[in-house]
Amino acid sequence: MEKKKFLVLGHPRSGTGFTAKLLRQFGYDIGHESMGADGISSWMLAVDDYQVFIDPKIRRPDFDFDYIIMCVRNPVDMISSVYYTENLSPYSLNFRKKYVNVDGLNNIEVAVKSVLEWYRLIEKQRPHLKLRIDRDPEVKLHAFLRRFVDPETATIAKLGKVNTRKHNELSLDAIIEHCNPALREELRAFCHLYEYRLSFNRR
């Protein structure tokens, strides 16, 4: 296996592009869904399969990574973006369906279930850093790099939005309304786990 320094994992629309750019800003050659000298940021490498985007020759079993970084963002924003954009791509959706059972679910439930199950797959790999990209990610990544990777890591510089797509927005109420009770509870636990204090009080 080829040795690389970083593997960044997440779900589609979770901030893998942002995290790749942030690592590059700190001086590491990280590709977004393509392999750089120091590694890759790709949601597809959460599983032992070939990528379906950018470089389909890349697959997880061919590489050994020193550090795994998991990126996550506000679940409502992520689910909304997945529902309105990512799940309209057959390549993306069919790839995830190979590893996440969404049989019998409505379209909103498919987006929710995909997010929840994909992060379960990532958590099993014991990521070294869980980076919430909407909670001072530059500061937290900088601290991690200086402590575990290179004490001389460059100073912090803020990044703007990366790889954004314009789309409509789902509200938490709409997501809850269209989710079955079991999935609703799983989503509540997910929000609690990653410290997103969203109100489920009305359900």
Task: Report if residue 116 sits inside a domain.
Answer: yes
Instruction: Write the pLDDT tens digit of every residue in 113-164.
Output: 999 999 999 999 999 999 999 999 999 999 999 999 999 988 776 766 666 6
pLDDT reported for residue 162: 62
| Residue ranges making up the domain that contains 63 | 2-193
Residue 201 domain-assigned? no
* Residue 203 maps to a domain: no
| CA within 13 Å, CB half, 178 | 17
Helix ranges (H only) for 31-148 are 75-84, 90-97, 107-123, 137-144
58, part of any domain:
yes
Q: What is the pLDDT of residues 60-93, one digit of tens each?
A: 999 999 999 999 999 999 999 999 999 999 999 9
Query: Considering the entire predicted model, what is its pTM?
Result: 0.93
Token code pair at residue 189: 């636990």
